[in-house]
Amino acid sequence: MVDKNSDGIKVNMYDFDKLVQETIINSNKLKEYFRMNLIYHQLVTGKGLEFDKIKEYYMGADPKRIDWKKFAKSGDLMVRMFKEERHFDIIIVLDVSDTMLLGTTDVTKNEYAALIAGIFATAAIEASDNVAVVMHSDKVEVYTDPGSELSSMMVLVADKANYGGGKEWNKLTQSLVLNYRPESIVFLISDFLDTDADGFIPELASYFSKVYGIMVRDPVDNTLPQGVGRMYVKDVTGKSVYLADLNRLREAYQTQVLIDITKLRDVFRQYNQLFFQIIPGEDFGREFIKSLGGEEVIIT
């Protein structure tokens, strides 16, 4: 579905119903990963299960934990929660700047990023994690609190008015640190174009429990198309226009892209954070789970 943002720029985005439908189809593929986090946490802490609180029954909760006494008194289904069952605050950060609006495959980068966000949010909520969504550019700032309802977050993600603008990573970093707990796990979903990882990853990595960089790039972000010939292009400042032969620039372009991605990857690795890239249209759930622990995919 195509519409325009406040600047009159065309924005492709799933409508709300389509986004929810695609999210449900794909979310099951990540459930086991979030359950794995609980198992890992229990193993490394070595702690038993200490009672914490009573919570409203949720899909997938262990029936053995239902508080039948409360049910008999109030008629409400409640489950007993334990401290080791309290997972994480999952902060899903969507880059909604102008560079994310590009798409030469069946979906644009922002559409695919929205689907990834929906998959994460659904899987995390079903694993009893608290989820917040952040949509950020230099003019768009959408923040929700951890524990927000999935439907309300999906409405924001599907709203085309929340897309467009430049990248303001320093401002994003400051806002994340001010608004979310250090125990949180942050997923940065972006094409990471026009960004300097050295400027924001060190602070995020030193503050939050974990930072995942998920790079969503269209094929033309990494490789110039064949047979285009000469065309007018702007420099990175947007102030100068040149007539360039893209066929002659292709090799140099790809070399520079490789350098940029390698630097980005190395910064994440330097601070012991996970980074990998994916092309819109690929099966994200399968590739993500494989990249975390499988032998078939190498984390780049």
pLDDT in tens, 105-117: 888 899 989 988 9
Does residue 35 surpass a pLDDT of 70?
no
Beta strands in the chain (DSSP E): 2-4, 10-12, 51-56, 78-82, 89-95, 130-136, 141-143, 185-190, 210-216, 230-234, 241-245, 274-278
Does residue 276 surpass a pLDDT of 60?
yes
Residue 296 located in a structural domain: no
Which tokens sit at 300? Answer: 């780049």
CB atoms near residue 14 (< 10 Å): 22
Residue type, 45: T
Residue 225 located in a structural domain: yes
Residue 162 located in a structural domain: yes
CB neighbour list of residue 177: distance below 8 Å, 6 or more residues apart? 203, 204, 207
Helices 109-126 and 284-293: crossing angle, nearest 10°? Answer: 60
Q: For the chain, give the percent of residues with pLDDT over 90.
A: 26
My answer on whether 190 and 178 are in the same domain is yes
What is the reported pLDDT for 294? 41
What is the reported pLDDT for 52? 62
Give the count of domains, the chain.
Answer: 2
Residue 257 located in a structural domain: yes
Per residue in 123-166, pLDDT tens?
Answer: 788 777 889 999 999 988 899 999 889 899 999 999 999 999 99
Residue 294 located in a structural domain: no
Q: How confident is the model at residue 297 (pLDDT cuts 50, 70, 90)?
A: very low
My answer on whether 155 and 199 are in the same domain is yes
What is the reported pLDDT for 66? 77
Q: What is the mean pLDDT of residues 228-257?
A: 71
**224 compared with 144, residue with greater pLDDT:** 144
My answer on whether 191 and 252 are in the same domain is yes
Q: DSSP readout, 263-279?
A: HHHHHHHHTT-EEEEE-
My answer on whether 66 and 176 are in the same domain is no
What is the C-alpha to C-alpha distance for residues 101 and 111, in angstroms, rounded to an integer?
8
Does residue 300 surpass a pLDDT of 50?
no
**247 compared with 206, residue with greater pLDDT:** 206
Q: Which of the listed ranges 36-45, 101-110, 186-195, 225-234 does the model predict with the highest average pLDDT?
A: 186-195
Note the pTM of the prediction, 2 decimals.
0.72
Residue 282 located in a structural domain: yes
Which of 62-66, 71-75, 265-269 bottoms out in mean pLDDT, i.e. has the lowest?
62-66
Beta-bridged to residue 151, according to DSSP, are none
My answer on whether 198 and 212 are in the same domain is yes
My answer on whether 90 and 233 are in the same domain is yes
Residue whose token pair is 């012991």: 272
**80 compared with 174, residue with greater pLDDT:** 174
Q: How confident is the model at residue 48 (pLDDT cuts 50, 70, 90)?
A: very low
My answer on whether 79 and 91 are in the same domain is no
Does residue 298 surpass a pLDDT of 90?
no
What is the C-alpha to C-alpha distance for residues 86 and 150, in angstroms, rounded to an integer?
18
Does residue 42 surpass a pLDDT of 60?
no
My answer on whether 119 and 219 are in the same domain is yes
My answer on whether 66 and 193 are in the same domain is no
Residue 111 located in a structural domain: yes
What is the reported pLDDT for 28? 66
Does residue 226 surpass a pLDDT of 50?
yes
| Domain membership of residue 62 as a residue range | 49-84
CB atoms near residue 127 (< 10 Å): 23
What is the C-alpha to C-alpha distance for residues 126 and 60, in angstroms, rounded to an integer?
7
What angle is formed at CA 176 by the lines to CA 273 and CA 141, rounded to 5 degrees?
125
Which tokens sit at 273? Answer: 């954070």
Residue 297 located in a structural domain: no
Does residue 73 surpass a pLDDT of 90?
no
What is the C-alpha to C-alpha distance for residues 109 and 185, in angstroms, rounded to an integer?
23
My answer on whether 258 and 188 are in the same domain is yes
CB neighbour list of residue 31: distance below 8 Å, 6 or more residues apart? 123, 126, 127
What is the C-alpha to C-alpha distance for residues 86 and 80, in angstroms, rounded to an integer?
11
My answer on whether 73 and 172 are in the same domain is no
